[in-house]
Structure 1
Amino acid sequence: MPTRISELSSYQHIAVTGGLGFVGRHLVRTLAALGNRVSIVDAAAPDDTTLPCPIRTVDLRDARQTLRALSDVDLVFHLAGNASGTTSVDRPRFDFESNAVTTFNVAEALLNTKARLVYLSTAMVYGEPQTVPVREDHQLSPFLPYGASKLAGEAAVRAFVRTHGLSAVIARAFTIYGPGENPHRAGGEVSQYLRWHLNALPIRVVGDLDHKTRDFVHVADLVRGLIVAADRSEAGRVVNIGSGREFSLRRLIDAIGEATGRRPEIEVVASISDDSYRMVADTAELRALGYQPQVELVDGIRALAAELGPDPVLPTVDTIFRPEQRSRQEEEVAC
């Protein structure tokens, strides 16, 4: 049964921070198609004149700019921030300011307006899962600066819920994929693997092919989950957004072969295995509110391959857990 998506008609003006990003563009278009009044709040200069709403260029690290930008809205989807674990290792201060500081500023700004907040966090706050599937009450032990900065944002939101009555929901996304990802920023396996494969290059696998598993959630399903969370979740709740299905890297590669009709070549980087663990969402909390993912992995990959074409831009994001790994990877490439 398809997910019923509310038009969020009780809200007069919705803001999407990071609305020019990968997830943001999908969310903005969906909200606008439902008839909502939407504004994009983003630090980047607009490069897409087809987006159906006004854009406010704002540095959310600045509290005053944030307050002004959100003064006339009654619902905020806070998506802005750094989404790259590798960037967080290379530039940890930038990562913290982009994620933790901006989230604090957004939450603080909404104390004056009584607007509702949906904060897009990440499954990386869990660290290495001790139980699978991962429930929202799992221990929180991030091992990358990225996970730590997103968790700091969660802590700020929770504190404002408790002390000031902020109406906020925290959504933890699992491994997102879909059309519109920037290959120079996206580090997710689906986009990277498919781009290498379509260019007739070996798929570069970091981690254990069979032991490393992920919950791959299509961006359209993520948007459905965010809207359901905004519409139906109680203040202070945390919800996982994933497919609820577990795929090993080997099964992902098999799905790419099935979607493209061509057997992929594989190149395993055995020297890096920091994230070779199982990571799949328990989505019972959100499903109880009516969320139902609709995009099967093979179908999502097939549609993405058709959009990318036979020779898409190659990914440029390395998987780095410690700075010294970068030099080792460069040495491997040189050899």
Structure 2
Amino acid sequence: MIHASDMFGGLRGHDEVVVTGGAGFLGRHLVTALSRLGKKVTVVDHAELPEDIAALPGVRYARADLRDYGETLLALQGADVVFHLAGNASGTVSVEKPRHDFHLNALGTCNVGNACLELGAQRLVYVSSAVVYGTPQRTPMGEDHPTQPFLPYGASKLSGELVLRSLHQSAGLPVVIGRSFVIYGPGEDPARAGGEVSQFLRWHLNELPIPVVGDIDRKTRDFIHVDDMCRALVTLADRGQDGETYNLGSGTEVSMRELAEAVGEATGRPALLDADDSSLEDSFSLVADVSRLAALGFSPAIDLAAGLSSLAAALGPFPELPTAKAVFRRERPERRCLTGAAAC
């Protein structure tokens, strides 16, 4: 649980805060943290707020489609600080529906950036993704690592970064960009969340082997607890440099084998892995160099062992099994003719 004393400057002097995507997993935790700081928080989303979030002091809800610029302007008016979390967060959905993904992530972000300029917001924090880097060329990855995304999701998040950075350069938009690594914690939707921590625990707590696609030793990730991620975002709002990008992770490399061992230690019984190495597409090391974030005074407060223990307690015995799958390619559609086309 995040306390106000953990939040550095706590957005001092900025009382009106907007969180786009505040009904989502990360958004709900961030809204809760901001409410505890005494902020007036407007949640902008297309989904209804859970009752416990809607009942928090100072929280109001604004339904908006950020692909519509008029709706975006109305939703963001009066904001001192905007945390832009909204968009498609699924790489699989982006492979299956790339135009849908681009509209939500790139066009929506363009509208948010322009609205912040027009309305005079004092700070915009954009939550991007480590997926913009593509296949890692070195480990850990600094913010200067080449950006060559292999998923439409990564391309759309990078497009959002580029448009916001261009607005900073051309018009002075006060934006800070955070590239998120793998977030975990209570409240993830097992039908949508693809992060390994929650998935591993859910399989294990159901007394089943944990299915893993890829090389369990070469496939490593950087996991950060959702409460630490909220603290990192407030740190960016307070101390981040305009126009700059920061990796948001723990800086700790964990292999799939090590994660399974940690799950066993957290639950008191060994975890069994069911490894499938027929596909090695994501068997790489995705780990953040967090020195730039650390220079702002931030360090994670929740290590993996503590995070796993608290999450296992929150999930309880026999939680709902995860169903989210990772899809990297779809079949190429057959050539077709549009009605009235002169030639095919």
TM-score band w.r.t. shorter chain: over 0.9
Aligned-pair CA distance for 1:269: 2.1
**Distance in structure 1 (CA, Å) of the matches to 2:138 and 2:194:** 25
| Cα shift readout 1:15-62 (whole Å, capped 9, x = no counterpart) | 000001000011001011011111100111233244311110111111
Whether the 8 Å contact between 1:100 and 1:153 is mirrored in structure 2 is: yes
Query: Is the aligned partner of 1:12 residue 2:15?
Result: yes
1:251 counterpart letter in structure 2: E
> What RMSD over aligned residues (CA atoms) do the two structures have, in Å?
1.4
| Cα shift readout 1:82-105 (whole Å, capped 9, x = no counterpart) | 111111111111111111111001
**Distance in structure 2 (CA, Å) of the matches to 1:120 and 1:50:** 21
Aligned-pair CA distance for 1:12: 2.8
- State the partner residue of 1:136: 143
**Distance in structure 1 (CA, Å) of the matches to 2:145 and 2:120:** 30
Look at both structures and tell me which one has the larger radius of gyration over its CA atoms: 2
SS of residue matched to 2:286: coil
Q: How does 1:86-101 map to 2 (within 5 A)?
A: 86-101=92-107
Q: How many residues align?
A: 324
**Distance in structure 1 (CA, Å) of the matches to 2:138 and 2:325:** 28
What TM-score, normalized by structure 2, do the two folds share?
0.92
Aligned-pair CA distance for 1:4: 5.0
1:19 counterpart letter in structure 2: G
Unaligned runs of 5+ in 2: 333-344
SS of residue matched to 1:135: coil
Query: Is the aligned partner of 1:124 residue 2:131?
Result: yes
Whether the 8 Å contact between 1:4 and 1:290 is mirrored in structure 2 is: no
| Cα shift readout 1:189-234 (whole Å, capped 9, x = no counterpart) | 1111111111111111011100011000000111111000000011
| Cα shift readout 1:57-82 (whole Å, capped 9, x = no counterpart) | 11111111001111111110000011
1:6 counterpart letter in structure 2: G
Query: Is the aligned partner of 1:209 residue 2:245?
Result: no
- State the partner residue of 1:76: 82
1:137 counterpart letter in structure 2: D
- State the partner residue of 1:37: 40
| Cα shift readout 1:90-129 (whole Å, capped 9, x = no counterpart) | 1111111111111001001011122110000000000111
Whether the 8 Å contact between 1:16 and 1:77 is mirrored in structure 2 is: yes
- State the partner residue of 1:109: 115
- State the partner residue of 1:261: 268
| Cα shift readout 1:118-145 (whole Å, capped 9, x = no counterpart) | 0000000001111111100111010011
What TM-score, normalized by structure 1, do the two folds share?
0.94
Whether the 8 Å contact between 1:3 and 1:292 is mirrored in structure 2 is: no
- State the partner residue of 2:64: 58
SS of residue matched to 1:323: coil
Q: Which moved more, 1:42-51 or 1:259-268?
A: 42-51
**Distance in structure 2 (CA, Å) of the matches to 1:4 and 1:201:** 39
**Distance in structure 2 (CA, Å) of the matches to 1:217 and 1:47:** 24
Query: Is the aligned partner of 1:188 residue 2:195?
Result: yes
**Distance in structure 2 (CA, Å) of the matches to 1:17 and 1:309:** 30
1:140 counterpart letter in structure 2: T
**Distance in structure 2 (CA, Å) of the matches to 1:92 and 1:301:** 34
Aligned-pair CA distance for 1:263: 1.1
Q: How does 1:141-290 map to 2 (within 5 A)?
A: 141-290=148-297
1:302 counterpart letter in structure 2: S
- State the partner residue of 2:314: 307
Aligned-pair CA distance for 1:13: 0.5
**Distance in structure 2 (CA, Å) of the matches to 1:146 and 1:50:** 28
**Distance in structure 1 (CA, Å) of the matches to 2:319 and 2:8:** 33
Aligned-pair CA distance for 1:161: 0.3
Whether the 8 Å contact between 2:185 and 2:307 is mirrored in structure 1 is: yes
**Distance in structure 2 (CA, Å) of the matches to 1:303 and 1:311:** 16
**Distance in structure 2 (CA, Å) of the matches to 1:179 and 1:190:** 11
**Distance in structure 2 (CA, Å) of the matches to 1:46 and 1:34:** 19
**Distance in structure 1 (CA, Å) of the matches to 2:109 and 2:238:** 20
| Cα shift readout 1:301-327 (whole Å, capped 9, x = no counterpart) | 1100100011111111111111259xx
Residues 183 and 241 of structure 1, relative CA distance in 2, 3 Å threshold:
same
Whether the 8 Å contact between 1:118 and 1:169 is mirrored in structure 2 is: yes
